[in-house]
Amino acid sequence: MRPAAIRNFLLLASSLLFAGLSAVPQSFSPSLRIGPGAACRLSRAESERRCRAPGQPPGGALCHGRGRCDCGVCICHVNEPGVFFGPLCECHEWVCETYDGSTCAGHGKCDCGKCKCDEGWFGDACQYPAHCDLTKKKSNQMCKNSQDVICSNAGTCHCGRCKCDNPDGNGLVYGKFCECDDRECIDDETEEICGGHGKCYCGNCYCEAGWHGDKCEFQCDITPWESKRRCTSPDGQICSNRGTCVCGECSCHDVDPTGDWGDIHGDTCECDERDCRAVYDRYSDDFCSGHGQCNCGRCDCKVGWYGKKCEHPRSCPLSAEESIRRCQGSSDLPCSGRGKCECGKCTCYPPGDPRVYGKTCECDGRRCEGLDGTVCGGHGTCSCGRCVCDRGWFGTLCQHPRKCNMTEEQSKSLCESADGILCSGKGSCHCGKCICSAEEWYISGELCDCDDRDCDKHDGLICTGNGICSCGNCECWRGWNGNACEIWLGTDYP
């Protein structure tokens, strides 16, 4: 190429380049600084002019008041996750409204956080057609929620689509059928959404850590870490992953409408009775295949059955009747109600407790213990659940001295009940202590004022043989629970 032609080509290219640069918006100029930390090549007035919206006078808000101006370029603030802004921070939301899962209902384009609707459509999410071809009956049918209520009585139906009532323009009523009403989340006192301590989703408050209540109005009196510790189940999960932790207490997901235990219960929702059912049906009582009792989600099988859900029969050369007969001994119940009978042999429980023993678990040393744990009142020895008293003492727990060092008046004053009756009229007074009638075995208490018939029975035994009756209430041995001490909550079971 000739030198003249080269010169003409360079002149043309430089003019085109200049024209192209002059067409670039002044608000976009990433090369106005020579390098990092270098001074801006624009004057302050020019820099601020480029950061103002077109038409705004000098002194107006820079970057729409949502950012700072850096050498003619807006650096926008991100106030919360997911919120972005445009070149002049003019866009408040990056995401546009959706309807029925589609952005701008599929009838428009998202521009700077707002839907620009196609021709023939309108609405915040372009969800309403300008012209409707549906009959009123068909339109209303499309607007009905699952309860057959048009727009949940919180809006009007427009061509098969609900237009929710928001007279204040706050958008608190929303949803395809106007089923969400975030006004339910407003605290009556503070008038804030969820009391300012949570987020509202479809009329329900989800509280921040340390707050609880329908509107997050209550603050826990313990730290979130202590609350988590109290709600942590033995397997390390919060409420066994079957409940919600509120201020250190688990609210299990499954609640029995009768007010009793549901299928899921326990301090940390650790008990799941569904594990005891071969086929789960919450309205069925068919626990443990019908061959056992469910205790905290674990089956305790009847004689002759085994397996996780007592589904397998156990082979035994003895008939069921003969097996039970051998386990009964002189008691009316197999293993005296204190053990498990398997093929004619008793396994006493709680496992490993030396106080319960005997061929048919007939010996229960716990009956020799007073409420303070002292054996035979410290004045005797225990033999197969009965106290053998030292000389000078008598009573079921060797609690009475044979010699008395007080006058008769002193003794009687200690035996009188509030109504002035000696030993409630159901016993005799000895040295200031009542000896209740032996004929009425159920009478107990310091003043013979308790009736142990009030204690709950199970399998024909008071407190199921797994505790003692104390003034009409069962006090269960370690590992047992329930009104009649009929529930085993220990870690091991025979």
Query: Mind giving me the DSSP string for 262-281?
Result: -SEESTTS-EEGGGG-SS--
pLDDT tier, 138 (very low <50, low <70, confident <90, very high otherwise): very high
Question: Which are the contacts of 262, defined by CB distance < 8 A and separation ≥ 6?
Answer: 252, 254, 255, 256
Q: Which helix (H) or strand (E) holds 155?
A: strand 155-158
The whole-number average pLDDT for the span 484-492 is 70
The whole-number average pLDDT for the span 385-406 is 84
Q: How far is CA 151 from the centre of its chain?
A: 32
The whole-number average pLDDT for the span 253-277 is 71
pLDDT tier, 119 (very low <50, low <70, confident <90, very high otherwise): very high
Q: What pLDDT does 176 receive?
A: 87
- Identify the bridge partners of residue 68 per DSSP, sorted by sequence position: 75
- Identify the bridge partners of residue 110 per DSSP, sorted by sequence position: 115
Q: What pLDDT does 157 receive?
A: 92
- Identify the bridge partners of residue 333 per DSSP, sorted by sequence position: none
pLDDT tier, 31 (very low <50, low <70, confident <90, very high otherwise): very low
Question: Which are the contacts of 51, defined by CB distance < 8 A and separation ≥ 6?
Answer: 27, 62, 63, 69, 72, 73, 74, 88
Q: What pLDDT does 83 receive?
A: 57
Taken as a whole, the chain contains a residue count of 494
For the chain, which residues make up each domain, given as ranges? Answer: 382-449, 454-488
Does the pLDDT value for residue 258 go beyond 50?
no
Q: Computed from CA positions of residues 429, 434, 440, 443, in that sequence, does the dihedral angle turn out positive or negative?
A: positive
- Provide φ and ψ at 87, rounded to 5°: -55, -30
Is 330 strand, coil or helix? coil
- Asked whether 476 and 458 are in contact (CB, 8 A), the reply is no
**Phi-psi label, residue 89: left if phi above 0, alpha if psi -120 to 50, beta otherwise:** left
pLDDT tier, 460 (very low <50, low <70, confident <90, very high otherwise): low
pLDDT tier, 118 (very low <50, low <70, confident <90, very high otherwise): very high
Q: What pLDDT does 222 receive?
A: 82
CA distances (Å), 491 to each of 288, 349, 470, in order?
19, 12, 26
In percent, how much of the chain has pLDDT > 70? 83
Does the pLDDT value for residue 9 go beyond 80?
no
pLDDT tier, 141 (very low <50, low <70, confident <90, very high otherwise): very high
* Domain 382-449 identical in fold to domain 454-488: yes
Q: Which of 107-111, 129-133, 265-269, 274-278 has the lowest mean pLDDT?
A: 274-278
pLDDT tier, 459 (very low <50, low <70, confident <90, very high otherwise): low
Which of 309-313, 331-335, 383-387, 398-402 tops mean pLDDT? 383-387
Kindly report, residue by residue over 271-306, the tens digit of the pLDDT: 888 778 765 444 455 678 788 888 888 888 887 787
DSSP 8-state class, residue 19? H
Q: What pLDDT does 144 receive?
A: 92
Hey, what long-range contacts does 336-340 have (CB within 8 A, 24 or more apart)?
A: 336/360, 336/361, 336/362, 336/364, 336/465, 337/459, 337/460, 337/461, 337/464, 337/465, 337/466, 338/364, 338/465, 338/466, 339/494, 340/300, 340/303, 340/494
Token pair of 69 as six digits: 């101006």
If you average pLDDT over every residue of the chain, what do you get? 78
The whole-number average pLDDT for the span 203-223 is 84
Kindly report, residue by residue over 38-55, the tens digit of the pLDDT: 788 888 888 888 898 887
The whole-number average pLDDT for the span 435-458 is 77
Does the pLDDT value for residue 150 go beyond 90?
yes
Q: Name which residue leads in pLDDT, 77 or 174.
A: 174
Give, in words, the CATH class of 382-449: mainly beta
Does the pLDDT value for residue 483 go beyond 90?
no
Q: What pLDDT does 80 receive?
A: 54
Find tokens 């068909």 and name the residue: 138
The whole-number average pLDDT for the span 88-97 is 74
Q: Name which residue leads in pLDDT, 290 or 257.
A: 290
pLDDT tier, 11 (very low <50, low <70, confident <90, very high otherwise): very low
Question: How many of the other CB atoms lie within 10 Å of CB of 101?
Answer: 8
Q: What pLDDT does 458 receive?
A: 66
Does the pLDDT value for residue 3 go beyond 50?
no
CA distances (Å), 482 to each of 249, 455, 456, 478, 489, in order?
21, 12, 10, 12, 10
CA distances (Å), 255 to each of 239, 252, 258, 457, in order?
14, 7, 9, 27
**pTM over the 0.85 mark:** no
Is 202 strand, coil or helix? coil
- Asked whether 150 and 157 are in contact (CB, 8 A), the reply is yes
Q: What pLDDT does 149 receive?
A: 92
Kindly report, residue by residue over 330-385, the tens digit of the pLDDT: 877 788 877 778 778 888 877 677 888 888 888 888 888 876 778 898 889 999 88
Question: Which are the contacts of 248, defined by CB distance < 8 A and separation ≥ 6?
Answer: 220, 222, 226, 227, 229, 230, 231
Q: Name which residue leads in pLDDT, 90 or 252.
A: 252
The whole-number average pLDDT for the span 425-436 is 84
- Asked whether 377 and 393 are in contact (CB, 8 A), the reply is yes
Kind of pairing between the strands at 211-212 and 204-207: unpaired
Q: What pLDDT does 143 receive?
A: 93
Q: Name which residue leads in pLDDT, 312 or 446.
A: 446
The CATH code of domain 454-488 reads 2.10.25.10
Question: Which are the contacts of 465, defined by CB distance < 8 A and separation ≥ 6?
Answer: 333, 336, 337, 338, 364, 485
